[in-house]
A and B are shown apart, each in its own frame.
Chain A
Amino acid sequence: MYGFRAEGPMEQFEIIPIFSLPTGSNLLAFTNSALWMVIGTSAIIVFFFAATRRAALIPGRLQSMAEVFYEFVSDLVRDTIGPEGRKFFPYVFTLFIWILVSNLFGLFPSLPGVPHGLHTFTPTSHLIVTLALAMLTISIVIIYGFWKNGLGFLKLFWPPGLPWPMYILIPAIEVISFLSRPLSLAIRLFANMFAGHVILKLFAGFVVSLLSAGGAVMLFGIAPFFGAIAVTALEFLVAVLQAYVFAVLTCIYLNDAVHAADH
């Protein structure tokens, strides 16, 4: 009976409280979003705990995987920021892994028959979450930028070597572009996750509706079925890519903070 009830494409994003904190208020309630954050984070912790439990000279499978992640992000940070970027490596690594796992776990199908509150959920499909991560990055950029460069950080908005009339316009554009960074960073990830899941749910919804119609109409369910499979494959790509893009852009912005006064 569950199999033939199609939900609307937006229901998957609903926040459903599972239990309230002992404060009694629902303000900080443990919701399905929190549940999937905890599931994802726990999975990461278990994985890395198992991978590093016996750090061996000749790595096992888990350790090899962990080292691949490590080298990947480490190279990214070193190539983008340089040797000074070493101190940001744990942040970028945590960010990348957390977003990656959040994106990927949201693509798991829900177990049939479980209540709505336990359906798979993608925390990064909510703007507030991606915005918080983006603001965290930009806050680090601004605070570290001023701490490292002092007022020299403002040279970021004053690119050198332009003919003087350009300086009427360029700093304003630079400031606007800087301020739009957290928004673009947040909206890029959120919109990708959101749109992907909507399309996925639309295709899946078509399949369910057409199948429940019965008769010859059921045959028309084949096309959206393969569509859903294709979109699922695409979404795995997008999930990995967007985590990577978020990490890359974070590195690029951190690079500004590190090297703002250099030119």
Chain B
Amino acid sequence: MSVFAIVTNAAAAAEEAQAHAAEASSAGLPQLDPAWWPSQLFWLAITFGILYWLMTTRFLPAIAGAIEERRDRIADDLDQAGDFKRQAEDAESAYNQSLADAKAKAQAIAADTRTEMDNEIAALQAETDAELAKQVAAAETRIGEMKAAAATKVGEAAAQTARAVVETLIDEAPTEEAASRAVADAAARPEG
């Protein structure tokens, strides 16, 4: 407050002195009074010089640095975003690849299982067929045996019948061997 008062008092006093001086000199444009040129040039040089010095050493590098940093940061961020995008694409293709692999594997397993089961079924069927064939063969053998036995029994019965018939007719019984032979001959003779 007091400083301001001193300055204003000084200014007022100086103003008065200057007013007298101005009256003494010619009353033209204040711009054309060379008396104040050195002072204006002096203070212009000081203020402009200080400002230029501060601009070059402090302010402009600081602003340039901030702008540069921001530009770099944005470029970095864009690069990083590009990286992330590439990674995402890689992950997606890897996922698609593994999905395709898994599908192929599943199909392979399914095919394997099918052939295995087919083989197993075929083996089982073959085994069963063989067993059945064996049983059929056994049954046929038994049937054959039974047939032969039946034929023998028929022959015996025919021989006995023939002996009984002959005995009844001629009252003489042929021997068993002769009767059997005659029956066998009759059976071997082709039909009519």
Contacts and interface: CB of A to CB of B under 8 A. Distances in A.
A34 B31 contact: no
A128 B12 contact: no
Nearest to A113: B8
Contacts of B55: 48, 90, 93-94, 97
B63 A15 contact: no
A126 to B, nearest CB: 5
Interface stretch (A24-32, A146-154, A227-235): A24-32
Contacts of A223: none
A44 interface: yes
Chain B contact residues (Cβ within 8 angstroms of A): what range? 35 or more
Interface string B39-59: 111111101101110111011
Contacts of A120: none
Interface in A26-64: 26-34, 37-38, 40-41, 44-45, 48-49, 51-52, 55-57, 59, 63
Nearest to B42: A28
Contacts, number: 158
A225 interface: no
A57 B64 CA distance: 12
Given A13-B30, A13-B31, A90-B60, A18 B7 contact: yes
Chain A contact residues (Cβ within 8 angstroms of B): what range? 35 or more
A29 B36 CA distance: 9
B2 to A, nearest CB: 16
B60 A17 contact: no
A70 B67 contact: yes
B41 A132 contact: yes
Interface string B17-46: 110001000000111110011111111110
A17 B14 contact: yes
Given A57-B70, A94-B55, A115-B12, A129 B40 contact: yes
Contacts of A128: 31, 36-37, 40-41
A171 interface: no
A114 interface: yes
A257 to B, nearest CB: 18
Contact of A91 (B10, B44, B52, B66): B52
Interface of A: 10, 13-19, 26-34, 37-38, 40-41, 44-45, 48-49, 51-52, 55-57, 59, 63, 66-67, 70-71, 89-91, 93-94, 97-98, 114-118, 123, 125-129, 132-133, 190, 194
